[in-house]
Structure 1
Amino acid sequence: MAADLAFYFDFMSPYSYLAQSQIRPLAERTGAVLRYEPVPVRRLMERVGNRPTTMECQNKLAYAMQDMGRWAAHYAIPFAPGAKLRQTDAGLLLRGALAARDKDLIAPYTHLIFEALWGEGKDLSEPGLIAAVLDEAGLLGAQLMEEASDAARADELEKAADLAAEKGLFGTPSFLLGGTLYFGNDRLGFLEEALKRQAA
């Protein structure tokens, strides 16, 4: 039986961007069934008493930017966050992921948004700009953005943060394999080893 692998992410998490570039091929190599779980990371952190120290400490932020660049080079992927990154509505992108999941489009939606935001530096600060990026890839941009504006989607995200906290999560990217948590882009090696042991 194929292993169930849950990938918890927030689009504003650059380490989630790095991890998403590797998680699909990892799942294919190990035969795992990959499940995408959008979660508002700041809400999750508030619930469990975690703090965004990278944003609070300028020295740590400067180091993190260098570290992300090293990882991107290691993975041979672009890393070019855009000038409008801080104006991006993370909640809207996450609600769009929920709408995409209902249409079995969450995998392409997730990877497209991550790559546009962090790899290509595209301006996603307005719904119309997001819809245009999605439409270019044939992903029903206007429809997904309309559904993402439904207030019920915001409630879904709040519940997602609650459930993630209950499962022991405290940040993103996180991966759940059975009841075992793996946190961070730099734990993908351990995750793959565990998946291979389980498949043996």
Structure 2
Amino acid sequence: MKRWTALLVLGVLTAMSGCGAETGSGGSAPASGGGSGSATSVDPTASTPTPTPEPSGVPAPIVEGEVTVVLDTDGYAMGQKIRVTVHNGNDRPAYTEDFKTACSIVILQRKDNGGWADITGCALGRPTMTVTIQPGSADPIELDPASFHLKSGPAVTAGTYRVKFTYRTEPEITGADPFTAYSPEFPVR
């Protein structure tokens, strides 16, 4: 009986390790840093996103007063893990839920007929959790196209993508998150 219990626990832990289970302040497994991407943030009072350039090979700094989504590179090969970091440069926490793309706190989007299609998928089988990103901190996220979470939805194929992060400044859920930050668009080839 102990052997079966141990095998069951091992199986659950193994399943959780590849699914983007929360590993810190929120999101999925940590990504390796040192990106060369750039970020685009959306100021809820502005009408257009503002690009934030980043020097190649240097981790993106947290931009004061903005929440940004930073890529680790400018493009990806099909099947390659997509690594992004959400930076909170605001003076208050950013709150969101997990259970988005691959059980993370971000949504991978594919350009589709002039619009953007969400690529979601989370097969954790637990209630959604609120994740907090504290002011001045960053949350690395890894989206694995080979994850079993994405097997039931649309595949990550060649095309143009971006990563969307929605958030609010209060912990209570009162509807859709009012603020959004996007990564720059990037190719998957």
Q: TM-score, normalised by structure 2?
A: 0.25
More strand by share: 2
More helix by share: 1
Q: TM-score, normalised by structure 1?
A: 0.24
